[in-house]
Amino acid sequence: MPKRRGAYQPPYSKHSFLVHGKFLTSKWDFEHHVVPPISSSSTYRLESAQRGASGFCGYVDPEARARRRGEIFIYDRLDEPTRAMLEERLAFVEEGERCVTFATGMAAIAAALGVVLRAGDEVVAHHALYGCTYSLLTNWMPRMGVRARYADLTDPRRLERSIGRRTRAVLYETPVNPTLEVIDIAAVSGICRRRGVISIVDNTFATPFCQRPLALGADMVVHSLTKNICGFGTDMGGVVVGPRRLEPGGHPAGVRKRPPAVPEGLRRGALAQERLADPRLRAAVPGA
């Protein structure tokens, strides 16, 4: 699989990275911590006006943000160490260039749509959707002048007919919640590229341990971290992963703190992927 330019490539296996993360990181000094501490600070001390200006410049100036900046933490909503490490791992496992975490999966989906849609635009979605996503498209997006069309995306020909002059994005989950239909990500992504439309895939059910939509041509990936990636029913969160070119100039509001169980879910997910790859176990587990 080709490496994505700009993505971090650790000098050890993907499973080791998901379990341990970076052993040295500019985001936090945790050489003696097996699990990094959770920051409880809402603001961070700036030793000088110059340091503050350098830090803020990375958030308000799109050109400056496109360049790599030093890790200068200013305010919790903009960025903070433990959330930054979670985003680093999620971007790596989804093979994306940028990752932003949110308080919920629905916040992540709304943010992804907000980046690419404006008043007067249309979004095409699969006709079967997670209930809250359907509510967002049906009840809330029209208030901002955005219209939703629905089509059976398991048939790429129907997608071709549904994309119109105002269509800017295609949104779907695969496997679909709750029908478990499987949509051909490569086929949908190819149509979207040809028609100049952004493709957004909700990868909540499959997780990046089973499929990586960006590697199949999708433009953005969203997750509810609450579900399979966390896996414990203890925390809520959402994430958007995508290319640098789709990142807005300002940094959106993310989760206030890293959901504590999510990194543990990443660790166990790496183990689960390895076990499910064993054909003997797949034969023993119904539906695996």
Residue 106 and residue 139 in contact, taking contact as beta carbons nearer than 8 Å: no
* Residues with active-site annotation: 77, 130, 202, 227
Sheet holding 98-102, edge to edge: 98-102, 238-242, 220-224, 198-202, 167-173, 122-126, 147-151
Residue 194 and residue 159 in contact, taking contact as beta carbons nearer than 8 Å: no
Beta bridge partners of 224: 238
DSSP 3-state assignment of 11? coil
Residues 6+ apart with CB under 8 A from 86: 101, 258, 259, 262, 263
Per residue in 100-113, is it b (16+ CB within 10 Å) or e — as a string? bbbbbbbbbbbbbb
Q: Which of 126, 48, 14, 83 is nearest to 254 (CA)?
A: 83
Q: Which of 204, 129, 211 is nearest to 170 (CA)?
A: 129
Separation between Cα atoms, residue 180 and residue 122, nearest integer Å:
25
